[in-house]
Amino acid sequence: MIKSLEDIQTTNETIVAKIRSFFQSVITQTSVAIDLGTSMTRMAIIGKGIVLKEATYIGQHIQQGTYLFFGDEARLMYGKTPQFIQVIKPLEGGILSDFDGCVALLEHFMQKAILPYYKNASLIKPGMKAFIAIPSSATEVEQKATKEAFRKVGFTSVHLTLKPYAFASGARGSIFHHMPLFVADISAGLTEIAVVISGGIVCSKTIPMGGNYMDRQLQHYLQLKYGMMIGEQTISLLKDRLLNLQGTNDTQTARGKSLETGLPKSLKVTASDVREATATSINHIVDAVREVIESIPPELVDGVVQKGLTLTGGLAQVPGIADYISKEIKIPVSVTEHPDMATINGLIRLARQKGEQSVFF
């Protein structure tokens, strides 16, 4: 049966529409949000959701220069490897400290979590976009290094935003609203506090204190008080299980090495030990929050006091921390739902909104 000219034209338009729809879907599906944290990396494909959550660790064979362990596997090997294998954290304070190691880790994460979603990686790779949050304290050189690392793993366009925009968006909703958002992110490498309104940061402060710093404080505390040397992984577990600001006094047995004899030794660590060891860091965080409040313009103070402070980040999950900070700064303090996921959720939201009101650069 011979088709009419009108039928042929309609068929051609349908084919063109399908091709256009296909390429538009490819562009959307290959937009990736990445929360590259000091201790954890999270990746999400826009439109699909979070596809990766792994430790930001990598293990390298020093003599050969090759990388052997990645992510969670490398973290499990931390402190347990022979001398010719070194397990490192390629980020410090949310900033690249080992460029080559970071690139190798990102390549592994891409192969594991992003590319399996596509049958033909060579087709979609040229359209891949990265949306990344970086600390507001990052220098121009550090920003360029971050962009270069992501370009090396296959992203043709890399869009950065300041981390306060991401965690404020993930915790409190629209950062483009005329009401101020007062948010503090207490993560592994840094604590960032900011007041965001109408798509801009009114005032902020970043201090190099977070979970990793508290781990070191606890490690030194146990060495001085009990003469015990305990490994970093065990210290981190002790802090996660025992740190609370509610006055409870749980205990946890830890194995380490006696500094006096050099032999293995067990120690019962109490929650009060952990509170005492980390008190300085927590008080520094409170002081930083207080400094930000003091720098808020008078016109915004009422809005900030009404809505209060919202905590995000892994350490926001410490029992009693919101009440403790609230008593010190005299305004309401709350913890957002899933505080450790606030940054990646905010990145997803901002990437979807990318347009006239973009906070990416």
> How is 163-205 classified by DSSP, letter by letter?
HHHHHHHHHHS-TTSSS-EEEEEE-SS-EEEEEEETTEEEEEE
CATH 3.30.420.40 boundaries in the chain: 31-155, 174-209+286-336
Give the confidence band of 313 by pLDDT, cuts at 50, 70, 90.
very high
Superfamily of domain covering 211-277: ATPase, substrate binding domain, subdomain 4 (3.90.640.10)
Per-residue pLDDT band for 1 (boundaries 50, 70, 90) equals very low
Q: Which CATH code of 3.30.830.10, 3.40.718.10, 2.170.190.11, 3.30.420.40 fits the domain covering 31-155?
A: 3.30.420.40
Give me the sign of the Cα torsion angle 32, 349, 207, 321. negative
Write the burial class of residue 64 (CB in 10 Å: 0-12 exposed, 13-18 middle, 19+ buried). exposed
Residue 302 has pLDDT above 70, yes or no: yes
Looking at per-residue pLDDT, the higher value among 61 and 3 belongs to 61
Confidence of residue 28 (pLDDT cuts 50, 70, 90): very low
Alpha-helical regions (H) of 71-199: 71-77, 99-109, 121-124, 140-152, 163-172
Which DSSP letter does residue 283 get?
H
Tell me what percent of the residues of the chain surpass a pLDDT of 90: 71
243: DSSP letter: -
Predicted confidence (pLDDT) per residue in 141-167, tens digit? 999 999 999 999 989 899 999 999 999
Strand, coil or helix: 254 = strand
Q: In the numeric block, which tokens belong to residue 329?
A: 């700064």
Q: Does residue 124 surpass a pLDDT of 80?
A: no
Instruction: Cite the residue boundaries of each domain of the chain with CATH code 3.90.640.10.
Output: 211-277
Enter the DSSP assignment of 341: G
Predicted confidence at residue 81, as pLDDT, reads 86
Least confident of 31-35, 235-239, 246-250: 246-250
Give me the architecture of the 174-209+286-336 domain, per CATH: 2-Layer Sandwich (3.30)
pLDDT per residue as tens digits for the range 193-241: 999 999 999 999 999 999 999 999 999 999 999 999 999 999 999 999 9
Question: Which of 39, 88, 102, 84 lies closest to 59, judged by CA?
Answer: 88
Is 262 in a helix, a strand, or coil?
A: coil
Q: Decide if pLDDT at 192 tops 90.
A: yes
* pLDDT tens digits, one per residue of 254-287: 999 999 998 999 999 999 999 999 999 999 999 9
pLDDT for 142: 93
Kindly state the average pLDDT of the residues 103-123: 79
Strand, coil or helix: 242:
helix
pLDDT of residue 154: 87
